Structure 1
Amino acid sequence: MPMNKLCNLLKLKNEDLLFDKIMQSFKEKITKWDYFINWTKVFGNIDPIEKELNLLNFLIGKEDVETEAYNLIKQYPQVIKAFPTLIAVREKSIDILIDTKNFIYKNYSFNKGKLTDNECKELANFVVNSGIGAILKDKKVKSLVDYATGVEVGLDSNGRKNRGGSLMESLVEEFVSDTCQNLGIQYMPQATSKKIKEQWNIEVVVDKSSRQIDFAINKNGKLFFIECNFYGGGGSKLKSTATEYIEMNRYWNKQGIEFIWITDGAGWKSTLKPLREYFDKADYLLNLEMLKEGLLYTILG
């Protein structure tokens, strides 16, 4: 079996030395300031309902919250569009199981323009049964705008897993951009076959129409495709990714395209077997430390 291309470039005696180099330099974390909260998204979700939240502030401290909520909803029906945020959901309507023996559900919709008197009563009842009523009555919150902002922060924290992937892409792009600039070659983030054809007039056959490559590099008509990801923890996802990329490497190589997988994270330390399987069948497996050492420049230079 021919020697791994990167082994040859680094003048290493065997592939085990290269794999050890990769294995021993995984990063534990790549957390940056923008990992924690996407404040633009948080306030972007508050702005459209800020007036409605301020109207609902009227209910704070009211003894008979249900009656007051009914009157408020009847006069200002638009306030109901803020209800999903108050209970930390994204849906514009929800079904509540009100009869557990017969599995009967009650639907509450929060995107209606006009409301019947009965719907106003039901939505006022929703305020009470959801627990929001007690919080308002007992003055547990002083401002529903502040409360809703806190809810949005909590909901946004669920997006950290996806932000981890975005952080890896932004880190890798710094190296890709610098390398391509130094070599005088072009690169394209989030590349598709259509964009490659339009920008570089190079035909690429994709395995599925939605295929998007993290980075495509054009070196005088020769294409290099880069996929990158970071795994802070282990799990089945790592194995499936490695398996997928074995096939992806083969698929692009058939078209004369070099495939570079840049991956990192402590999660690989407990899932080395599938990573080794990829390594044994592909030419380019890099991590962040190797990018720092200029190996992307070595490959593309």
Structure 2
Amino acid sequence: MKIFLDTLLETNKTYDFFVDWKKVRSFVEKNKVEINILNSLLHSEDFDNELRRILRRYPEVLKVVPLLLAIRDNSVSIISEFGLEKTKVIKLDFTERNLREEEIETFVDFFKKTGLRDLFLNIADKSLFDYILGVEVGTDTNARKNRSGKVLEDFLKPIVETVANKCGYSLFVQKEFSNLEKYKVNITKLKNRKADFILLKRRSDGSCRVVNIEVNFYNVSGSKPQEIIDSYIERQKELKEYGYEFLLVTDGPAWKKQKSQLTKALENLDFVLNTYLVRLGILEEVICMI
């Protein structure tokens, strides 16, 4: 365990972890025409009437309105009145359509009460495009968790590919176990479960050798490592029922505060490696030995 803990990665952040600029730019460019139409409202001296005119003539701008508030949904429910006797909830639909006059008035009121009217008149300066670009950058930070989870897999993929080739295995990346059925490998209990990596080798007697490799990284301690270790112990048990193997590659500073869970993993899983041990050649040694 000491070697494992002493060689953990401090972080899995890469330069492209912070913002997916290509995605942000593409998202904004896709709505460029509608953004430019709304841009005409900046510092308008007759904002409400100009907004009414735009909503009548260019209802396609509706889809851009949620972006101004960093909302991804096409509709939103709002409490418009809250009291002891009555609560009134209205639902605004931002899908493109020809609007009734009463709907237009609802959107004008929405701009006023959410502060969007003040944004156009007093906050945004020259470009609504730049404002939305900034909003999208902020929204994209929510995707960091997904990017973080995939980084270690991307790091290890070329190593696993090399090991698979050297040891005579076919490699499946992010595939469900059901993809093995064409090789007459039927893992019923895990059929619809997706694996990070699956290695498959056909033996001379026609049977197959299968190794499932799962990868994860934990920056902070908590309940997740405990849950995942329990699930992997169960995964290994299910695979062994079919005569197949399981290997875990895990890393991250959180394990230094989760020693009991790491001990549980080391005691109950046949193969637990970190990225240092993988790069040291232990992964290749294990896969070619299995």
**Which TM-score applies when normalising by structure 2?**
0.92
Q: What is the rounded CA distance, in whole Å, between the counterparts of 1:268 and 1:202 in structure 2?
A: 38
Counting only pairs closer than 5 Å after superposition, residues 66-85 of structure 1 correspond to structure 2 as 66-85=48-67
SS at match of 2:247: strand
Q: Partners in 1 of 2:192 and 2:72 — Cα distance?
A: 26
Instruction: Confirm whether residue 122 of structure 1 aligns to residue 106 of structure 2.
Output: yes
For 2:59 and 2:219, the matched residues in 1 are separated by: 46
Cα shift readout 1:77-111 (whole Å, capped 9, x = no counterpart): 11111001011011101111111213211211100
Query: Is 1:266 the equivalent of 2:248?
Result: no
The 3 A distance-change label for structure 1 pair 276 and 202 is farther
Counterpart selection for 2:236 from 223, 241, 249? 249
* 1:99-118 alignment, distance < 5 Å: 99-101=81-83, 102-118=86-102
Q: Is the 8 A contact 2:124 2:131 kept in 1?
A: no
Q: Are 2:105 and 1:146 equivalent residues in the alignment?
A: no
Whole-angstrom distance in 2 between the partners of 1:206 and 1:41: 38
| Aligned-residue offset at 1:209 | 4.6
Q: Is the 8 A contact 1:249 1:259 kept in 2?
A: yes
Aligned equivalents of 2:233, 2:125: Cα separation in 1: 54
Cα distance in 2 between the residues matched to 1:21 and 1:76: 64
Q: Does 1:137 align with 2:121?
A: yes
2:28 equivalent in structure 1: 46
Question: 8 Å contact 1:243–1:274 — kept in the other structure?
Answer: no
What is the aligned-residue identity percentage?
28
Q: Secondary structure at the match of 1:224?
A: strand
What SS does the corresponding residue of 2:210 show, helix, strand or coil? Answer: strand
| Count of equivalent residues | 281
C-alpha distance in 1 between matches for 2:263 and 2:184? 32
For residue 162 of structure 1, what is the aligned residue in structure 2?
Answer: 146
Report the Cα offset of residue 139 of structure 1: 5.2
Once the two structures are superposed, residues 115-166 of structure 1 have per-residue CA deviations (whole angstroms, 9 ceiling, x without a partner) of 0011112112212222121121125232122211111111110111111111
Instruction: List per-residue Cα deviations over 1:230-276 (Å, max 9, x = no partner).
Output: 00111101111111111111111121111001100001111111221
Q: Please, which runs of 5 or more residues in structure 2 have no aligned partner? A: 203-207
Measured in 1, the distance between the counterparts of 2:60 and 2:44 equals: 20
Contact 2:11 2:219 (8 Å CA) reproduced: yes
Unaligned runs of 5+ in 1: 1-18
Q: Per-residue deviation at 1:40? A: 3.0
Question: Structure 1 length as normaliser, TM-score?
Answer: 0.89
Q: Which amino acid aligns with 2:261?
A: P
Deviation at 1:35, TM superposition (A): 1.2
Q: How large is the Cα RMSD of the aligned pairs?
A: 1.5
Instruction: Report the Cα distance in structure 2 between the residues aligned to 1:260 and 1:28, rounded to whole angstroms.
Output: 22
Q: Indicate how the Cα distance of structure 1 residues 178 and 154 shifts in structure 2: closer, same or farther if over 3 A, else same.
A: same
Which residue does 2:272 correspond to in 1? 285
